[in-house]
Structure 1
Amino acid sequence: MPLDGLFVHSLAKELNEQLSGGRITKIHQPYPNEVIMVVRNNSNNYPVLLSANPAYARAQVTKIPYQNPATPPNFAMFLRRNLEGARLQSVSQVANDRILNFAISTHDELGDDQTLVLTLEMMGRHSNLFLIREKDQRILELIKHVPADQNRVRSLIPGATYVQPPAQHLIDPFDTDWQALAPILLDQDRDDWAKAIQKTYQGFSTVAAGHLAQALETGADSIQTAKDWLANFDHAKPTLYQMDKKFAFAAFDWAPEESSQSFATLGDLLDAYFQGQAEADRVNQQASALVRLVKNELKKNQSKEKKLQQTLTDSENAESFKIKGDLLITYPHLVHKGMQSVEIENYYDDNHLLTIALDPRFDGLQNANRYFRKYRKLRSAKDYVLEQLEATNQEIDYFNQISTQLAVASPKDVADIKVELIEQGYLREKTKVKTKGKQTKKPKHVLSTPDQFTASDGTLIEVGKNNLQNDKLSMKKPNRQNIWLHVQKLPGSHVIIHSDNPSDETIEEAAKLAAYFSKARDSANVPVDYLPAGKLRKPNGAKPGYVIFEGQSTTYVTPDPILVQKLKH
């Protein structure tokens, strides 16, 4: 289901139970439209994601690691000044709409008690996050400033009075006795019930209205059926569905016939659902320059490879240039300036006539010398071309690997890939940064950790998401008897099973991870090689992430996104 008013109702209930009475300890803004607010409550830290992303707006407790920018944005600094150390009173929904209010108890400049409200509007491209003073509804700050010429309905700038989005004048389904439902359904054909529900009640997406209409068709008492169906949102059983490689989520299992996975909390469910999509969007924001660089390098090297292949083909024909030169030397009198070609008996081929192209500016001997020069050039160039062709193909393989890593990267991995490209000389490094007029050295990069998974039998599995992680994981880990896996003959992640004798089930699960985090993610029956990590070798001068090996075993698996989420730490 989409993140509609019904799902937000369940979210508000879960967040209120988890966070109410907690203290705000940290605030970060790792991405332009998203804030992480850490709330400590009942001896637990809850990282609350408040996202006003146009495509992925939501509020949830998240476990996905995030990378903070070196300099906090102004909005994050403003929230820190006003909210860190304050008490979160409650989380509430506005009339079953996609609006959540986080009421926060704090003090003003004079030390008097005051209540501030963090209001998250999850409205697609109109999504926004406000900090509002409750007593006068004044907007203190917001994550997206919207000029008056772009929104004539209400003012979305600091200092303005907060006004809710235009009301739809629909019934709140959680604040009604549903007596109005029966006559509405009687006036409609069954095929139109879903539309009638949407037009009458607040917060119903098309999918949710369709499911309620389906429940009403099978229920004897429409009013009681609607109440029972709606009660599920007060007792959420978070469920993720997979249908034809696509995913959908719901607050409870309303489609038991579909392939599904259950989660303990709605936050865990949203992490699983949005991780791939939202992570890709975040990576695109952070790594757009890297993506362009990789595409340009691939295009340049692929073009170079074609030219080298053509030169190699020409060099294979070098002997024909020598033959033409010999024939022209033997019969120079047959050629005169101005001729475009000449036919000469080829004594290398039973005296068959051979047509030889000529440069009309030259006579027979001069044209012969031209062919001899081409012959000598191509003969000497062949070894060089083969060497260049090998190097170019290595560059193409390398950038295909980087491209695959960017496609499956998390935001924390992007910095590692950037550092690698700088170390390999493809990017320039900014060695100094300004701090209050002084020049200081840039801090040393700290390598991010590989993703960790737990096999069904409890064995730890690590997955490298970039070449620097892969090198550390595969070549520098202490136990060289651990089992190493990699998709066969395609770019992909290095995978390590932290066991020297894993079960067949663990090998299969690790192989599915290796296939999922590779260029074969959308393929079936993917070959994955595995062997002890001690058998890996890294040639001198090889690029990061490149290893050679022999004596491997091979298993065939199909990537399983549901399994990836199940095994994730």
Structure 2
Amino acid sequence: MTFELNQLLANGRVGKISQPYPNEVILTIRAQRHNFPLLLSAHPSYARIQITQIPFKNPAVPTNFTMSLRKHLEGAKLLKIEQLANDRVLYLNFATRNELGDELPIQLSIEIMGRYSNIILIDQKQQQIIDTIKHIGPLQNRYRTLLPGANYVQPPQQNKLDPFVTSNNQYQQLVVRYPNREVLAKQLQQTYQGFAKEHALYFADQLHRSDQSVTQSWQQTLQRVKQPTPCIVKPENARQPFFTYLPFSASSTIQQAATLSEILDSYYQQKANRDRVQQLASQLINIVQNNLHKNKKKIKKLQQTLNASKHADQYRIKGELLTTYLNQVKRGMTSIELENYYDNQKPLQITLSPNLTPSKNAQKYFKKYQKLKTAVTFVNEQLAKAQEEVAYLEEIQSEIELAAPEDLPEIKLELQQQGYLQQQKNLKKNKPRQSASRPAVFYSSDQTKISVGKNNLQNDRLTLKTASKNDIWLHAKNVPGSHVIIHDPNPSQQTLLEAANLAAYFSKSRQSATVPVDYVTVKKIRKPNGARPGFVIYEGQKTLFVTPESQLVKKLAAKNHK
């Protein structure tokens, strides 16, 4: 990545600076007549540095760290990017000037170290920290204080060698001492800085199998860093796919890209997006889960009441038998066996309350019967409401799972409108009203426009207000999902299949192998009075069966439309 970024960004100038998320910064660098959005992430799980094409939305109010970066780096020239001894630390060296016009060398350091990842702005001349994206005080780390004004100290070095330092030839001794591939790989990891397990195994293979000398093989394999083949691979023994600059084998390669930045965008887009949504929507997720749990528990109890009501006739029969044979029943009895004239084959055992008279025992059974019969109508009404509630909440749950961070405010608004979430009082009377979000836009292979609603409010606007009556409406069958509109009354079969793929992909059945998708003209869609957002009914539909494909969705995205 150091080689790639230097080739693209060296001598470029910093334009916009933004911090879309708490641990991530984007520097827009103008170089070679292009604007390159450089992402620096100090996320505990997804820390990295790359050029990204994923769109980000800036917060309304910039953070203190953003303001520090803008003050010191806007307009600065990026001289070069350096890596610290093949460790997970990169330094971006800038040339800028202070308020007095004096030249000021500024360094921006990104440390990619899991939960200890950080982005640090350094006055290179004074070796003093200007600001950091994560403040680390002396009580948290006595070795390194990462606070504005503190002296900058490099991360503690591990007792490992830099493999790119040519004077070191310890690898020759390791190859002789460890003929076993796995053992040699482990030794390479322990000896040299920056070796992942998979790459150590690759180096071990090359050093043992090559017909060249060990030194030639070592240098040649290291040179692959300057000519990478960025890809996502999943070897047979690997639990999860991972990204690499080396294609291990054709059979294990899932995806290739022209640059390392492209492969990181592809690898992290969904992973990082899911994590951001989980963080930003934690309150919404809890509300939906709690209400789902409450309603499912309610349904279980109502079902038990309904099951009990099925035996209501037994109470009526017992009451009638007691009334018929009242002269045989004596006060103080705990039970009695009477001839059942409803079933001549079996006498019926009836439990009695010894403290009640025979007549009151009979009345007790009649009351139980009447109570259960009266409850059936009420229980069925409540059961229908609870089941409707569960279906709606599962729809919202699915929306959150499929949402991008920018979709969450409208989902929150919907939950407020439906009474699940208390609306916050707007203290600023003149605060501008939040504009309605727009559906995602895609274009089919024959350039037909396709719109996809990402939440219930968008779905309603798209289907009931925006779409023309003769447009084609699609939805994954019998599962929560997006409303999809083909803006053409007579789309080709290819467009229909691609739109159906979008409907399947943006639904709860995204991971399924085959998804049925209904399609019908918009004029056949109706929304019942009082129905919840996103709920419609239709008739006269046809059904397509498709397999959701993420690559096809990326291909159809509006940004690829020319």
TM-score, normalized by the shorter chain, greater than 0.5: yes
Whole-Å separation in 1 of the counterparts to 2:232 and 2:443: 20
Q: Give the aligned partner of residue 198 of structure 1.
A: 189
Whole-Å separation in 2 of the counterparts to 1:176 and 1:461: 56
In structure 1, which of residues 146, 151, 168 is the aligned counterpart of residue 158 of structure 2?
Answer: 168
Deviations for 1:261-317, whole angstroms, at most 9, x for unmatched residues? 222432222121111211111111111111111111111000111111122223333
Secondary structure at the residue paired with 1:492? coil
In structure 2, which of residues 233, 237, 241 is the aligned counterpart of residue 241 of structure 1?
Answer: 233
Q: Give the aligned partner of residue 256 of structure 2.
A: 262
* Pairwise CA distance, 1:397: 0.8
Q: Give the aligned partner of residue 399 of structure 2.
A: 405
Whole-Å separation in 1 of the counterparts to 2:340 and 2:431: 70
Is the 8 Å Cα contact of residues 431 and 441 (structure 1) preserved in structure 2? no
Whole-Å separation in 2 of the counterparts to 1:247 and 1:188: 29
1:214 aligns with 2:208: no
Q: Out of 413-422 and 330-339, give the one that drifted further.
A: 330-339
Is the 8 Å Cα contact of residues 452 and 482 (structure 2) preserved in structure 1? yes
Greater length-normalized contact order (CA 8 Å, ≥ 6 residues apart): 1
Secondary structure at the residue paired with 1:493? coil
- 1:162 alignment partner AA: Y
In structure 1, which of residues 356, 365, 374 is the aligned counterpart of residue 368 of structure 2?
Answer: 374
Secondary structure at the residue paired with 2:269? helix
1:460-475 superposed matches below 5 A: 460-475=449-464
Seen in structure 2, the aligned counterparts of structure 1 residues 340 and 51 have a Cα distance that, compared at 3 Å, is farther
1:281 aligns with 2:275: yes
Seen in structure 2, the aligned counterparts of structure 1 residues 81 and 480 have a Cα distance that, compared at 3 Å, is farther
Moved over 6 A (4+): none
Secondary structure at the residue paired with 1:368? helix
Q: Give the aligned partner of residue 3 of structure 1.
A: none
Secondary structure at the residue paired with 1:162? coil
Q: Give the aligned partner of residue 518 of structure 1.
A: 507
Secondary structure at the residue paired with 1:290? helix
In structure 2, which of residues 139, 146, 165 is the aligned counterpart of residue 149 of structure 1?
Answer: 139
Whole-Å separation in 1 of the counterparts to 2:459 and 2:257: 31
Coordinate RMSD, CA, aligned: 2.7
Q: Out of 134-143 and 368-377, give the one that drifted further.
A: 368-377
Q: Give the aligned partner of residue 532 of structure 1.
A: 521
Q: Out of 85-94 and 151-160, give the one that drifted further.
A: 85-94
Deviations for 1:408-463, whole angstroms, at most 9, x for unmatched residues? 22211222211110111100111224xxxxx4465423333334444455444443
Secondary structure at the residue paired with 2:105? strand
1:310 aligns with 2:300: no
In structure 1, which of residues 12, 32, 39 is the aligned counterpart of residue 2 of structure 2?
Answer: 12
Whole-Å separation in 2 of the counterparts to 1:103 and 1:498: 50
1:11-160 superposed matches below 5 A: 11-160=1-150
1:345 aligns with 2:339: yes
Seen in structure 2, the aligned counterparts of structure 1 residues 567 and 180 have a Cα distance that, compared at 3 Å, is farther
Is the 8 Å Cα contact of residues 312 and 373 (structure 2) preserved in structure 1? yes
Q: Give the aligned partner of residue 542 of structure 1.
A: 531
1:294-309 superposed matches below 5 A: 294-309=288-303
Whole-Å separation in 2 of the counterparts to 1:134 and 1:178: 30
Secondary structure at the residue paired with 1:234? coil
Seen in structure 2, the aligned counterparts of structure 1 residues 65 and 289 have a Cα distance that, compared at 3 Å, is same
Is the 8 Å Cα contact of residues 336 and 362 (structure 1) preserved in structure 2? no
Is the 8 Å Cα contact of residues 28 and 76 (structure 1) preserved in structure 2? yes
Q: Give the aligned partner of residue 330 of structure 1.
A: 324
* Pairwise CA distance, 1:53: 0.8
* Pairwise CA distance, 1:190: 3.5
Instruction: Output the TM-score relative to the length of structure 2.
Output: 0.90
Whole-Å separation in 1 of the counterparts to 2:72 and 2:330: 93
Seen in structure 2, the aligned counterparts of structure 1 residues 123 and 309 have a Cα distance that, compared at 3 Å, is same
1:229 aligns with 2:221: yes
Seen in structure 2, the aligned counterparts of structure 1 residues 262 and 169 have a Cα distance that, compared at 3 Å, is same
Whole-Å separation in 2 of the counterparts to 1:473 and 1:382: 40
Whole-Å separation in 2 of the counterparts to 1:238 and 1:166: 30
Q: Give the aligned partner of residue 433 of structure 2.
A: 444
1:487 aligns with 2:464: no
* Pairwise CA distance, 1:367: 2.8
Identity of aligned residues (%): 47
- 2:94 alignment partner AA: I
